[in-house]
Amino acid sequence: MDVLQYALAVISGVLVGFSLGLIGGGGSILAVPLFLYFVGLSSLPNAAHVAIGTTALAVGINAFINSYMHFKRRNIAPRIGAVFAVVGLVGSLLGAYLGHITPGTSLLTYFAIAMILLGIYVAVRKESTRAGSPEEADRLREAIRGCPKLTPSVIAKVTGFGFVVGLLSGYFGIGGGFLIVPSLMFAAGLCITRAIGTSLISVGTFGVAAGAEYWYYGDVLPLIAALYVLGGVAGGYLGTSLAVKAPKDVLRKAYGAIIVTVGIYMLYRIYG
């Protein structure tokens, strides 16, 4: 690794952090192709596993940093978040192991296909009609006074979703926030605002756990991960500042198209 690649790692973090702040969940999936083709990790032996392992660690650390702000605002359901994260941790470790033993070409192929599917989802999904509404505000105040009860039904649904999302997160080295938020809303009845805050507990847990496992296998570049986190914090601040002014529906569709395009480009690089 040279100085230019370290600088490009910071820029990658800025780009992903900016997209996350501007659009929301799903931005972390861009980190792997950025590491491979922008930073230049594709020239390394075992490049696919190194890119995914480094991404997982960086995304996890970044999520824990962001979760602190939500915790200060009491925008987290800790008991539900803990159940989801603990069960998902098992899935994440299993997913990381399965990713490690998957041949690099196959792993990147599956990753590119996941990008294309996610891009389509991001482009066509509709925002919750309750987001920012008085109904959501009322539910949030109620949740702050007392977190939703962990009934057997809620525990069963949270456990099931947690394991599946953790498995996918560990396998692909992504945060999984775009899956965790709707899972928490459906399984535990959280409003979207609180689901986003609570999801960061799991994103951080899954990412750090998967990153640590990949590190154990020698598939993590810790300095690159640290530089990515540094850039991600700056980019996230810029993206969040712009989000209040930007037409989010248009941006969301454009961002979905970018993800699909990058996924197709990855398939071209693999098989072209």
Question: In 3D, which of 68, 35, 29 has the Cα closest to residue 168?
Answer: 29
Query: Is-contact 92 167, C-beta < 8 A?
Result: yes
Non-local CB neighbours of 193 within 8 Å, separated by 6+ positions? 75, 131, 136, 140
Query: Is-contact 141 193, C-beta < 8 A?
Result: no
Reported as a single tens digit per residue, the pLDDT across 105-159 is 999 999 999 889 888 887 787 655 444 444 444 544 544 444 556 788 888 999 9
pLDDT interval class at 243 (50, 70, 90): low
The encoded tokens of residue 156 equal: 């069963």
The encoded tokens of residue 110 equal: 């599956």
Q: Cα(129)–Cα(52) distance, rounded to whole angstroms?
A: 35
Which residue ranges make up each domain of the chain?
3-271
Please give the pLDDT value at position 25: 58
Identify the sign of the CA torsion 80, 248, 207, 257.
positive
Query: Is-contact 166 183, C-beta < 8 A?
Result: no
Q: Which residue type sits at 217?
A: Y
Question: In 3D, which of 216, 172, 203, 248 has the Cα closest to residue 59?
Answer: 203
Highest-confidence range of 138-142, 160-164, 236-240, by mean pLDDT? 160-164
Q: Per-residue DSSP letters for 204-250?
A: HHHHHHHHHHHHHTT---HHHHHHHHHHHHHHHHHHHHHHTTS-HHH
3-class secondary-structure state, position 45:
coil
Q: Cα(44)–Cα(64) distance, rounded to whole angstroms?
A: 29
Please give the pLDDT value at position 246: 67
Q: Cα(244)–Cα(254) distance, rounded to whole angstroms?
A: 17
Reported as a single tens digit per residue, the pLDDT across 20-66 is 766 655 667 888 899 999 999 998 888 999 999 999 899 888 888 87
| Relative orientation angle of helices 192-216 and 78-101, to the nearest 10 degrees | 40
Reported as a single tens digit per residue, the pLDDT across 182-235 is 788 888 887 767 787 788 888 888 889 999 999 999 999 999 999 999 998 888
Q: Cα(219)–Cα(203) distance, rounded to whole angstroms?
A: 20
